[in-house]
Structure 1
Amino acid sequence: MDILAPEQRSRLMSRIRGKDTGPELKVRQLAHALGFRFRLHRRDLPGSPDLVFASRRKVIFVHGCYWHRHPGCRYAYSPKSNVEFWQAKFAANTARDQIAMKALEEAGWQVLVVWECETRNAGALQTRLANFLKNDMAKRIKHGN
Structure 2
Amino acid sequence: MLLQGLLPLLTSLLTSAPTASSIADSCYGSALPTISPSTDHRSVPWGSPSVHFSSLNGTLTTCCNSLDDVRTALDDIDDRLLNLLNQRAAYVREATRFKSTRASVNVPSRNEEVVRQAEQQAVHIGMPVTIARATFEAILISSVPFEQCIFDVNPQ
- Higher helix proportion, which one? 2
Give the TM-score normalised by structure 1: 0.29
Which entry has the higher C-alpha Rg, 1 or 2? 2
